[in-house]
Amino acid sequence: MMYLKEMYVIDFDVEDKKQYAASYRAVQRFLKAQGYKRGSRKGTSTYHLSTANALARDTYVKLMHPHSTAPTRPNVVYTDESYIHHHYKSHHQDLFDPSDDHDVQSKEKHKGRRYCFVAGILDSPTLVSKVMALDIFTGGKSRAKEPQDYHGMFDHAYYVKWFGRLLDEMDASGVTNALIILDNAKYHKCLPESTPTSGRRKSVLLDACRLYGISTTGNEFKSELWDMLASHIKANVRPVIVEMAKNRGHCVVYTPPHHSDLQPIEIVWAIVKGEVGRQYTDMTKFADVKVRLEAAFANLKPDSIKGCVRAAQEKLKMLHEHLVQIDALAYDEESSDDSDNSSDDGGDSE
């Protein structure tokens, strides 16, 4: 819409929401009449879930599905991180000509600097849904100093500090006994600094075995000591943020890998970034993006957040039904473990 206004194709008052909506509907009707379709040209992409990831999926569904349908459901806080580029804009991103096989638009290569942001959204049976602990920041003084993957803008120290802020805000808002949902980023799962690692010298590993009550003879090789320690750590040592949440009466739940559609906050990101992108013009400065991003979060209504949660819960319901159908099959499934080419031994991790 802003692009059409820039090109003097249409004119409307940006501050007048009714006028903007009327102009938007008029453009939609025109594009539909011209034969365009909303969306992106469909390709084919598939992935195979490893045994470990399939188990993580099933465990998550078994835990969360009853909560989504129960009359007395718990408080749930969904958290995630994302980013937005300086030159992020909505036009040309969701429109294509279905009759033109050559209508394949390339992605922009110069998107400018980016703002990273992290937040939580509250879904509660008794409290008003809202955004919690929003933090927006840049990760470098220039584009060249930013890591290519936006996850590199976050680290364990930052996340622990932010997570503490989230817990404080939950306490202040009266959010108790909550499930805190987050993905499998490495900085979400870091263990206490005192936890031994495989690279430590043998004497340190021996001391750790004594500390954990693991019996040794002292004659084991370092690899054997680490094998015993690794099993104990996996079973008994919890990530830092899991302990932080537990100490406040909450429970951390990790979403299964490759299932971002179960995270309603992903839809919130799309709404917020879409609102920012629709305001982009060639005159947009980097600082303008942050102002618009903050305004987009402020404009989020409780009903909008609830709608995002319902959409994700519907996906959860469909996945649960699918798993029930799989369990009810009257014949054996072909197991990937039977294949000599299976690459799933050891599982995936994120």
Q: What is the pLDDT of residue 267?
A: 97
Q: How many structural domains are present in the chain?
A: 2
Q: What is the pLDDT of residue 145?
A: 56
**Same structural domain, 136 and 267:** yes
**Same structural domain, 30 and 58:** no
The DSSP code sequence of 215-242 is ---S---HHHHHHHHHHHHHHHPPPHHH
**Same structural domain, 162 and 266:** yes
> Which residue numbers in the chain have pLDDT < 50?
336, 339-350
By CB atoms closer than 10 A (0-12, 13-18, 19+), residue 225 is: buried
**Same structural domain, 125 and 185:** yes
Which parts of the chain are beta strand (E)?
37-38, 76-85, 95-96, 114-123, 131-138, 179-182, 251-254
**Same structural domain, 163 and 266:** yes
Domain that holds residue 301: 50-191+238-331
The DSSP code sequence of 148-179 is SSGGGG--HHHHHHHHHHHHHHHHHTT--S-E
**Same structural domain, 134 and 78:** yes
The answer to whether 20 touches 14, Cβ cutoff 8 Å, is yes
Q: Is residue 114 part of a domain?
A: yes
* Residue pLDDT, tens place only, 208-234: 999 999 999 988 999 999 999 999 999
DSSP-derived 3-state class of residue 291 = helix
**Is the model's pTM score more than 0.95?**
no
**Same structural domain, 257 and 297:** yes
The DSSP code sequence of 324-337 is HHHHT-SSPPPPGG
Q: Is residue 322 part of a domain?
A: yes
User: CA-to-CA distance for 340 and 343, rounded, in angstroms?
Assistant: 9
**Same structural domain, 255 and 164:** yes
CATH of the domain at 133: 3.30.420.10
Q: Is residue 68 part of a domain?
A: yes
The answer to whether 158 touches 209, Cβ cutoff 8 Å, is no
**Same structural domain, 20 and 74:** no
**Same structural domain, 30 and 55:** no
Find the Cα–Cα–Cα–Cα dihedral 319, 321, 327, 332, rounded to 10°.
Answer: -70
Q: What is the pLDDT of residue 21?
A: 87
The token pair at 49 is: 């879930």
**Same structural domain, 272 and 308:** yes
**Same structural domain, 157 and 19:** no
